[in-house]
């Protein structure tokens, strides 16, 4: 766990590089791999993710951690000059926008090339590329204004809006976590009551992630980061009753997900009513509660001193997490390619496993190359250190709900 002195009356400043917690990058990297496996069509590797064992999945993990890390970065850079948060947010949103458009161009190109090579339009059909090719003059403006979101290309538009939102909110609220919490709850309730959301081309399609609802997941991470040093939060997180509650929620979520029924072993879903109301599009509080319980237990089990961060798997996930933006875009392209690969080679378990593990290995290789280039240029983040940065003993404290923020939110 992150070890810090208790915060005074003023909000806690984000830690410096010496306090960087490798677990944030680790979980973000793992979330990217899990999202890739979950989004690859009919992929057996999705059974190694959390998707089938509870009522939340890697989407909550990724969005929550993005909000958590962004809060740490904003308090470090803009707490004394909050007006600068807005131009930074615009700059970051524009970078995300360019990555989104680039991902679409690459995926659309691959779909066209596959049709020409294999004589199959499966990628164009499954990835909803065909409307763009048929009615380019109509669809192109909608692509540019985020009103046309093909499958797999729905996370970055959500993140663009959330980045712009936080730029404005930080200027108004600074590090007052209670205001973010109130804002998140009020906006979510308005969306739930009114059904407010955004549409995508054609107008009968809606955003996969309703931004008016999913802002609550993002701001939940933001709030937890800002409040992580509050004594009451530390007491709650470390209380045996809270641990028992989290374990209970995970058990209930497992029974509700009924993986045995998904596998076709036994059609018994005693808590199906939970999954019926756990809407992903509208960021159901049921899903958020399940994710927070999972994050709570995972944080207690995976301490900052755990040697996992020094293993090959641990370092690989950390490096992917530190380059989360390009790694996420590349993983999205890999997920889109799976439609063509599985159409050509079939959907046998060996094919699915080989492709999924092979592309994950390429992600790892790219992350290590990016790290090496960063070290060589002295401008990028280095690999996670295997030696402790601070050898002085630190006083033991109750663990916060989540570890300290790692780095700029979505690189």
Which structure tokens are listed for 185?
């709850």
Mean pLDDT of 280-290: 95
Tokens linked to 404 = 């300290």
Flag whether 250 is in a domain.
yes
Contact 20, 406 (CB under 8 A): yes
Residue 382, pLDDT score: 47
| pLDDT score, position 42 | 81
Structurally, the chain folds into a number of domains equal to 1
Q: Quick check: is 82 in a domain?
A: yes
As a whole number, the mean pLDDT across the chain is: 88
Q: Is 200 exposed, middle or buried (0-12, 13-18, 19+ CB in 10 A)?
A: buried
Q: Is residue 387's pLDDT more than 80? A: no
Contact 22, 304 (CB under 8 A): yes
Is 346 a residue whose pLDDT tops 60? yes
Residue 178's alpha-carbon distances to 58, 86, 222, 232, in angstroms, are 26, 20, 11, 14
Residues 22, 11: Cα–Cα separation, whole Å: 23
Q: Does 96 map to a domain?
A: yes
Q: Establish if 253 belongs to a structural domain.
A: yes
Residue 209 has pLDDT above 90, yes or no: yes
Beta carbons of 96 and 39 less than 8 angstroms apart: no
pLDDT band for 410, please (50, 70, 90 cuts).
low
Return the number of other C-beta atoms located less than 10 Å from residue 146's C-beta: 20
Query: Is 363 within the bounds of a domain?
Result: yes
Res 19: pLDDT = 54
Q: What tens digit of pLDDT does each residue of 297-310 get?
A: 999 999 989 999 99
Within a domain: residue 294? yes
The two beta strands, 199-200 and 205-206, are: antiparallel
- Asked if residue 2 belongs to a domain, the reply is no
pLDDT of residue 379: 53
Q: Is residue 22 a part of any domain in this protein?
A: no
Question: Of the given ranges (13-22, 93-102, 139-148), which has the lowest mean pLDDT?
Answer: 13-22
Q: How confident is the model at residue 273 (pLDDT cuts 50, 70, 90)?
A: very high
Range of the domain at 239: 32-373
- Span 167-178, average pLDDT: 96
Contacts (Cβ under 8 Å, ≥6 apart) of 42: 342, 347, 352
User: What is the predicted pLDDT for the residue at 21?
Assistant: 84
């Amino acid at each position: 766990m992150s070890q810090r002195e208790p915060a005074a009356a003023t909000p806690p400043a984000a830690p410096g590089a010496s306090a960087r917690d490798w677990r944030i990058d680790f979980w973000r990297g793992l979330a990217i791999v899990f999202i890739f496996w979950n989004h690859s069509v009919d992929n057996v590797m999705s059974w190694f993710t959390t998707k089938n064992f509870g009522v939340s999945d890697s989407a909550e993990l990724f969005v929550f951690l993005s909000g958590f890390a962004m809060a740490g970065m904003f308090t470090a850079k803009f707490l004394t000059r909050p007006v600068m948060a807005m131009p930074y947010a615009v700059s970051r949103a524009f970078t995300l926008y360019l990555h989104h458009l680039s991902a679409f161009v690459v995926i659309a190109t691959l779909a066209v090339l596959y049709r020409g090579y294999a004589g199959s339009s499966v990628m164009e059909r499954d990835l909803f590329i065909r409307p763009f090719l048929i009615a380019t003059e109509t669809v192109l403006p909608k692509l540019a204004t985020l009103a046309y979101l093909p499958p797999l290309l729905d996370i970055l538009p959500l993140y663009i809006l959330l980045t712009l939102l936080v730029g404005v909110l930080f200027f108004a609220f600074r590090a007052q976590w209670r205001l973010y919490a109130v804002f998140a709850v009020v906006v979510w309730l308005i969306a739930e009551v009114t059904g407010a959301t955004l549409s995508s081309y054609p107008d009968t399609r809606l955003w996969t992630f309703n931004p008016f609802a999913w802002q609550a997941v993002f701001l939940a991470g933001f709030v937890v980061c800002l409040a992580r040093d509050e004594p009451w939060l530390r007491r709650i997180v470390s209380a045996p009753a809270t641990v028992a509650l989290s374990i209970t929620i995970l058990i209930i979520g497992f029974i509700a997900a009924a993986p045995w029924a998904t596998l076709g072993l036994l059609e018994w879903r005693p808590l199906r009513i939970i999954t019926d109301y756990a809407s992903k599009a509208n960021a159901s509080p049921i899903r958020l509660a399940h994710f927070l319980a999972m994050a709570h237990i995972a944080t207690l089990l995976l301490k900052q001193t755990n040697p996992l961060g020094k293993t090959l798997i641990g370092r690989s996930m950390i490096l992917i997490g530190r380059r989360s933006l390009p790694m996420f875009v590349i993983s999205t392209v890999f997920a889109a390619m799976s439609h063509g690969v599985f159409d050509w080679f079939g959907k046998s378990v060996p094919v699915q496993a080989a492709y999924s593990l092979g592309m994950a290995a390429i992600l790892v290789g790219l992350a290590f190359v990016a790290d090496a280039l960063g070290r060589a240029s002295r401008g990028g983040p280095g690999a996670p250190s295997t030696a402790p940065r601070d050898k002085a003993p630190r006083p033991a404290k109750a663990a916060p709900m989540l570890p300290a923020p790692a780095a700029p939110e979505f690189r």
